[in-house]
Amino acid sequence: MQRSRPRTPSLLRRAAATLAALAALCAGLAGVGPAPSAAAATSGAAASRDNPGYWLVAADGGVYAFGAGKYGQARGTALTRPVVGAAATPDGGGYWLVASDGGIFTYGDARYLGSTGAITLNKPIVDMAPTPDGGGYWMVASDGGIFAFGAAPYLGSTGSAPGPSPIVAIAATAHGSAYPPGAVGSDYSWPQCASNGWSAGYPPAGRPVSVVGVDNGSSPYARTDPSTRFNPCFTDEATNAGTNLTVYVNVDQDQPSNPEAVSGPKGPCATTDLVCTGYNWGWNNVNASVSFVRSTKFTPTLWWLDVERPCGSSSPLWMCGTDGQASNAAVIQGAVDALHAAGLVAGIYSTSYQWPLITGGSSGNDTVTYPGLPIWIAWAPGSSTQDTQQYWASLCTNASYAFAGGTPYLIQWIPGNGTYKTPTDPFDADYACPDE
């Protein structure tokens, strides 16, 4: 990642179901809305993948099969709310029905993986979609709030910022991720601005893996100045990334006396309470970055937190000692929570060496973990003979490179000891890990 010295930045397979559900809840979803109108709830349809047919589903849970087997129906069941959607399993051997309160009904080989039937929602559920392998599913509410279950990752929502019209449906991608598995791309930020003397332009537009830095690479001491806080080329670089835009945010050590550390969700804090000020610092800095990106009207699908350069490195960005590590961990927790509260997907960029030294522990011994959270493995080793997709894919499953209990989504590497960075393509290279 770009920081205060010109070095290029370094980036979802599956978040654990518990994290996904928590993130969706943090997006502001709470409260069952009124039952949908008869017109909106009259029927839903689900297609069979292997059989040339489909099912129609009525609001009372009745199922009508056309060219496909009928595995059961909810008609005759005392429904709390009407059925509003349906989805087929990947092999067409079953289907799910979903009611407007998020209650799930399973038939055939469809598995029950959880529901919102016992949760009070802000707005009613209007549709559902399964993951490509059927190991999870998403539900969407009319305000765009997302609930994820099973292996379905939480990828963000509009629950905290609904649009002018209600959401009426959800459709899943073929691979269920922000990046196509096995795709290769680049990360870039403020050092690639022409104003900084950069003359090589940007990577090819629309690369399937495109990660753009939000911040201006400044140290935390300078972050309160809005004129220098953010990447001056963000809009141009985000436009270059196109619909594949994902972003990263710099996170650094607490500044206990800074107003952004003293006040916040954990404040007011005493300047000596480094856990309290650390959490506020992480929360407020990320919220500022989110506000900046939203002001540009871009909607990244994934937000990475750049966590690197521990105490003892040549240019450290994090506190030392046990108390310092506790504060560092609180900064990161505040940043993760801020992204989830904004309805966004959080991931962490670091290495298995740096992460425990920053958050507490020793090399290879993580004491602060985020099970299932997307991770971007930085600075993976490469050589002229190893730079192949097969080699990069092996790094995704090599436990010695993982950290924080997360799930590898991206591998960043400097192939051939930097030979990848040629005059025609002088950018960090990033590889999207295959599906598990």
Residue 54: how many other CB atoms lie within 10 Å:
17
CA 431, CA 144: separation in Å to the nearest integer? 30
pLDDT of residue 315: 87
Lowest mean pLDDT among 146-155, 184-193, 258-267, 272-281: 146-155
pLDDT of residue 109: 92
- Spatial CA neighbour of 91 closest among 63, 121, 71: 71
Instruction: Please report which confidence band the pLDDT of residue 74 belongs to, taking 50, 70 and 90 as the band edges.
Output: very high
Lowest mean pLDDT among 68-82, 154-168, 217-231, 421-435: 217-231
Most confident of the ranges 14-23, 175-184, 257-266, 412-421: 257-266
Lowest mean pLDDT among 58-72, 167-181, 359-373: 167-181
pLDDT of residue 32: 30
Q: Is the pLDDT of residue 414 over 80?
A: no
- Spatial CA neighbour of 361 closest among 313, 311, 322: 322
Q: Is the pLDDT of residue 205 over 70?
A: yes
Mean pLDDT over residues 388-412, rounded?
Answer: 89
Most confident of the ranges 264-268, 341-345, 424-428: 264-268
CA 322, CA 52: separation in Å to the nearest integer? 62
CA 417, CA 430: separation in Å to the nearest integer? 15
Instruction: Please report which confidence band the pLDDT of residue 23 belongs to, taking 50, 70 and 90 as the band edges.
Output: very low
| In contact, 55 and 87? CB cutoff 8 Å | no
Lowest mean pLDDT among 121-125, 187-191, 323-327, 380-384: 380-384
- Spatial CA neighbour of 3 closest among 317, 285, 324, 318: 317
Q: Degrees (nearest 5) of the Cα angle 96, 101, 102?
A: 35
Strands (E) located in 316-394: 346-350, 361-362, 365-366, 374-380
pLDDT of residue 351: 94
pTM: 0.68
The four Cα atoms 399, 341, 149, 74 give a dihedral, to 10 degrees, of: 180
Lowest mean pLDDT among 3-17, 41-55, 358-372: 3-17
Instruction: Please report which confidence band the pLDDT of residue 393 belongs to, taking 50, 70 and 90 as the band edges.
Output: confident
Q: What are 181's two structure tokens? A: 């598995």
CA 258, CA 246: separation in Å to the nearest integer? 29
Which DSSP string do the residues of 304-336 spell out, in sequence order? EEE----TTSSS--S--HHHHHHHHHHHHHHHH
CA separation, residue 249 to residues 11, 286, 303, 305, 336 (Å)? 11, 7, 7, 5, 11
Average pLDDT of the chain is 81
pLDDT of residue 353: 93
Mean pLDDT over residues 413-430, rounded?
Answer: 62
Burial of 295 (0-12, 13-18, 19+ CB in 10 A): exposed
Mean pLDDT over residues 291-306, rounded?
Answer: 93
- CA 154 to chain CA centroid, Å, is 7
pLDDT of residue 419: 43
CA atoms within 13 A on the CB side of 108: 20
Q: Is the pLDDT of residue 420 over 90?
A: no
Mean pLDDT over residues 30-58, rounded?
Answer: 51
pLDDT of residue 40: 27
Q: Is the pLDDT of residue 28 over 60?
A: no
- Report the DSSP pairing between strands 125-130 and 136-141: antiparallel
Q: Is the pLDDT of residue 298 over 50?
A: yes
Q: Is the pLDDT of residue 197 over 70?
A: yes
pLDDT of residue 172: 80
Q: Is the pLDDT of residue 195 over 90?
A: no
pLDDT of residue 133: 72
Instruction: Please report which confidence band the pLDDT of residue 224 belongs to, taking 50, 70 and 90 as the band edges.
Output: low
Q: Is the pLDDT of residue 423 over 70?
A: no
pLDDT of residue 344: 83
CA separation, residue 26 to residues 1, 158, 159, 338 (Å)? 28, 12, 9, 9
CA 203, CA 386: separation in Å to the nearest integer? 23
pLDDT of residue 417: 42
Q: Is the pLDDT of residue 95 over 80?
A: yes
